[in-house]
Amino acid sequence: MHSFHYLNGSLHCEDVNLQQIAEEHGTPSYVYSTATLRDNYTRLDQALEGLDHGVEYAVKANSNLSVLKLLAELGSGFDIVSGGELQRVIAAGGDPAKCTFAGVGKTRPEIEYAIRQGIYCFNAESEAEVTFIDQVAGDLGLIAPVALRVNPNVDAKTHKYISTGKSENKFGVDFESIEAAYERASKLENITLRGLQMHIGSQLTDVKPFIEAAEKVAPLAAKLKELYDIEFFSVGGGVGIVYSPALASGTAEWWESHTEEARPLTPEKYAAGVIPFLKDLGLKILVEPGRYIAGNAGVLLTECLYEKKGAAKTFKIVDAGMNDLIRPALYEGHHEIVPIKEPTKVTAHIPMDVVGPICETGDFFCQNRDLPDFAEGEYIALLSAGAYGFVMASNYNTRGLPAEILIDGASSKVIRPRQTVEDILAAEIANL
C-alpha cells in the first residue's frame, strides 16, 4: 500500500496537495512519501521476524541522502554497487559495517575505500574479482571479507533486462562451479569467507521462483557453513510492486477485494515461502529490497505543454522526458498516469500518447492508452516512480535534473533542488 490518494478533488501525497507542490516548485518534480518508505521497510522487517535477519536496502533504487537517512534511522543496512554509493550511505549517517558491496566491475580505488571504511562484506561476482580483492587487501596489509554470488540458474520470469539469476546473465558464479570457487578462495591469504549471496532478478510478482531458488541454494549455504564457517546467506531482493493499478492499490480495501491467491506478491507471502528453507541454517539471512521499498513511494509530476491531434492519434506533450524517467524507453516499463485534478464521472477518456520534449522517438511514457482527458497547463502524475526514476536521470539535451521533494504528513521539504543549466555548464565553463 502507499500514501497517494485523491482528496477534495486533487491528488495528495499523505496530507499534501500535489497541485500546490507543482505550482510552488515547478515541474518536472519527484515527490516521495515518508510514510510509504517507512511502512514498506517495517512491513518486510516484521514479516521476517523469527529469523536472524537484516534488511539491506538496495541504494541503486533511490539514493537520495534524505531517503537513505530515513532508512538508516529505521535500522536498515545497505546493498551498494559502487564506491560512490558507499560515500552516500556514510554521508546519510548509515553504518559501513552494515553494507554489502555488489557489482561485477569493482575498481581498485573502490575496493580500497570500502576496505578502509570497514564494510561488512564484498559480494564478489567472479573468481577473478576475488583474486583481485585479495591482492588489493594484501597491498593494504588488511583482510577483506568476501562472499561469492552464486547464480542458481532460476528463471525469475521477469523482463530480460532485470533478470539476473540465469546462467546467461553476467552476474555471479555458475551453480555447478561455486563449491570449487569457494575451495580456491579459501586458500587466499588476504580474504576471509564471510557468506554466500544470490539474487535472481527484480520485479517478481510470484513467490515460486523465490521458493525454487531458496530450496536449491539453502543446502549449499549449509555446506559452506560447515566447511568455511560462513556467517550469512543473502537471498537478494526482487519482490515486485503493483504498477497497475498503482493508485487503487494504495488502499487496504483494494487488497481485501482480492482473494489470497489473486493478490500480488506481499512481504508476508514472500516470507512464508522462503522461511521454511532458511530458518534452520544457523546463518544470518540478509534481504536486499530496493524497488519494494521505494517504488510506490514516489511519483513524477509533470505539466501538459501542448496537445497535438494528428491523423493517427492524439499526443499530449509534457515537460518531463525520458531523461527524467527512462524506464518506459529503456525496457518498456509501465507507469500509471493520472491527472492531479480528480476525474469526474463525466470526464472523457481518450486514447493518447503521453510524450516528452526529448528529440527521440522513444521519448514517451505511454502509447495508445485510454486516459482521462487533461488540458494544456494541467498537471499529471506518473505513479510508481520512486525507484529507478531520478537515479537513472540524465542531462540529455542539456536538461537540468528534476527537483526531489519529501513529504512527511502535512509538511514538504525540497531534498534536492532543481538543477539549472548554469549548474550543468559550470564545470565546463571553468575549463574553457
For residue 98, the 8-state DSSP code is G
Whether residue 253 is found in the same domain as residue 350: no
How confident is residue 165, by pLDDT bands cut at 50, 70 and 90? Answer: very low
| 145 belongs to an annotated ligand binding site | no
pLDDT at 271: 97
Contact criterion met (CB below 8 Å) for 104 and 124: no
Average pLDDT over residues 133-152: 97
| 372 belongs to an annotated ligand binding site | no
Omega into 245 within 30° of 0, i.e. cis? yes
**Sign of the C-alpha dihedral, residues 131, 136, 138, 139?**
positive
| 303 belongs to an annotated ligand binding site | no
| 179 belongs to an annotated ligand binding site | no
| 331 belongs to an annotated ligand binding site | yes
Whether residue 246 is found in the same domain as residue 320: no
400 has pLDDT over 60: yes
For the chain, helix, strand, coil in percent to 5 are 35, 25, 40
- 23 to each of 26, 28, 33, 104, 275, how far by Cα in Å? 6, 11, 18, 43, 47
CA 49 to CA 47: how far, in whole Å? 6
- 208 to each of 71, 211, 305, how far by Cα in Å? 28, 5, 44
12 has pLDDT over 50: yes
Whether residue 138 is found in the same domain as residue 103: yes
Average pLDDT over residues 342-369: 96
pLDDT at 162: 43
pLDDT at 427: 93
| 30 belongs to an annotated ligand binding site | no
pTM of the full structure: 0.95
From 13, 121, 304, 359, the catalytic residue? 359
Poorest-confidence range of 104-108, 127-131, 159-163, 329-333? 159-163
Half-sphere exposure of 378 (CA within 13 A, CB side): 18
Tens-digit pLDDT profile for residues 269-299: 999 999 999 999 999 999 999 999 999 999 9
Whether residue 305 is found in the same domain as residue 284: no
pLDDT at 239: 95
pLDDT at 311: 86
Gyration radius from the chain CA atoms: 23
| 290 belongs to an annotated ligand binding site | yes
Pairing of strands 298-309, 29-33: antiparallel
Average pLDDT over residues 44-73: 97
Average pLDDT over residues 239-267: 93
Residue range of the domain that includes 279: 34-291
Interhelix angle 65-73/34-47, rounded to 10 degrees, is 40
Q: Provide the domain count of the chain.
A: 2
Average pLDDT over residues 412-430: 97
Contact criterion met (CB below 8 Å) for 304 and 382: no
pLDDT at 30: 99
Whether residue 218 is found in the same domain as residue 342: no
For residue 175, the 8-state DSSP code is G
For residue 207, the 8-state DSSP code is S
**Sign of the C-alpha dihedral, residues 59, 65, 71, 72?**
positive
pLDDT at 383: 98
What amino acid is encoded at 173 in this protein? V
Whether residue 254 is found in the same domain as residue 314: no
pLDDT at 156: 59
397 has pLDDT over 60: yes
The residue out of 291, 322, 355 marking a domain boundary is 291
The residue out of 291, 320, 345 marking a domain boundary is 291
pLDDT at 161: 47
pLDDT at 113: 98
Q: Is there a catalytic annotation at residue 359? A: yes
Closest CA to 190 of 109, 149, 136, 122: 136
Which of the given ranges, 149-153, 329-333, 368-372, has the highest pLDDT on average? 368-372
Tens-digit pLDDT profile for residues 363-384: 999 999 999 999 999 999 999 9
Contact criterion met (CB below 8 Å) for 205 and 265: yes
Whether residue 300 is found in the same domain as residue 221: no
159 has pLDDT over 60: no
Contact criterion met (CB below 8 Å) for 209 and 231: no
| 288 belongs to an annotated ligand binding site | yes
Whether residue 123 is found in the same domain as residue 266: yes
Whether residue 149 is found in the same domain as residue 230: yes
Whether residue 325 is found in the same domain as residue 237: no
Average pLDDT over residues 418-422: 98
CA 205 to CA 190: how far, in whole Å? 40
Whether residue 276 is found in the same domain as residue 307: no
Whether residue 126 is found in the same domain as residue 273: yes
pLDDT at 312: 84
The residue out of 291, 307, 336 marking a domain boundary is 291
pLDDT at 158: 53
Helix (H, G, I), strand (E, B) or coil at 108: helix
> Mean pLDDT over all residues of the chain?
95
pLDDT at 170: 59
Question: Greatest CA span in the chain, whole angstroms?
Answer: 73
258 has pLDDT over 60: yes
Tens-digit pLDDT profile for residues 208-218: 999 999 999 99
CA 94 to CA 87: how far, in whole Å? 10
pLDDT at 163: 45
CATH number of the structural domain spanning residue 114:
3.20.20.10
Q: Which three cell numbers stand for residue 405?
A: 521533494
- 61 to each of 58, 224, 291, 313, 361, how far by Cα in Å? 6, 30, 6, 34, 26
